[in-house]
Structure 1
């Protein structure tokens, strides 16, 4: 990763290569992880609010989009040609820091490193819901359900 302005970023040449990949397979993997990590923890009122909402997570420096929608059965991968109700964008490193709770989403938002577009009320509900969860993505990898999910991935090696 390149280092600039005291932050790491995906090198442009790598971002250019990643942007050539089809979005759908990555979105399928992304929603699989969301369903293991978030679905069991989502309150019923939040589930109702996000029902049928088209969401997109964009990793700006990697030029990578994850499109997904909440259905009654969980998160489902979406197609890139649908206009999302909400887009959340940041760099790979900023998402990494958020996932480890090393950076506050409000700080990133007000420094314009985390961008929300579209239905901001929806974005705030999701942000507040995730903030309320005692959730460290990297700690979850140690849990039995997540380990079993990872073991299904070809080539995965146990730590």
Structure 2
């Protein structure tokens, strides 16, 4: 029996964000930069796209968790930033469920953006580059709860 796992739209309780903003944010930046570097090493991220991201800074905010990850692309690698620049080149803001839906390819960024569930602020050309790069990735099929092998 082939079952699919659907990520529902949800919002974490306000207490989570109230606590989350007081926690150190650098672990999120380190984890996301490391994951992106692994994806690049695995050949999932096109080298020409990475070259166009050189010297640019990015901010990812998970609003309902009170967390953020900030990183930059330097020397062909993603590097965590310990402090958020006054004006990152590109910022993404959404609740956890929207980011999970993007990752699972359950929703596309355009739909989430037009439904006001995803905010993208900054360099429009860079935003399109990132969107197209992520759309082109052939993610390995990962097991999800409820899906049988």
TM-score range, shorter chain: 0.7 to 0.9
Give the TM-score, by structure 1 length.
0.77
The DSSP-based 3-state class of the residue aligned with 1:80 is coil
Say whether 1:75 aligns with 2:78.
Answer: yes
CA contact (8 A) 1:37 1:140 kept: no
Larger helix fraction of residues: 1
CA contact (8 A) 1:57 1:88 kept: yes
Question: How many residues end up aligned between the 2 structures?
Answer: 135
The DSSP-based 3-state class of the residue aligned with 1:68 is strand
Structure 1, residues 23-57: CA drift from partner, whole Å, max 9, x if none? 11221122111211245322222112100101011
CA contact (8 A) 1:109 1:115 kept: yes
Give structure 1 regions of 4+ aligned residues with deviation exceeding 6 angstroms: none
Say whether 1:126 aligns with 2:130.
Answer: yes
Q: Which runs of 5+ in 1 are unaligned?
A: 1-5, 142-159
Bigger RCO of structures 1 and 2 (CA < 8 A, at least 6 apart): 2
Say whether 1:55 aligns with 2:58.
Answer: yes
Give the TM-score, by structure 2 length.
0.82
Partner of 1:37: 39
| Residue 73 (structure 1) shift | 4.2
Q: Which shows bigger deviation, 60-69 or 38-47? A: 38-47
Query: What's the RMSD between the two structures over aligned residues?
Result: 2.0
Tell me the distance in 2 between the aligned counterparts of 1:70 and 1:51: 5
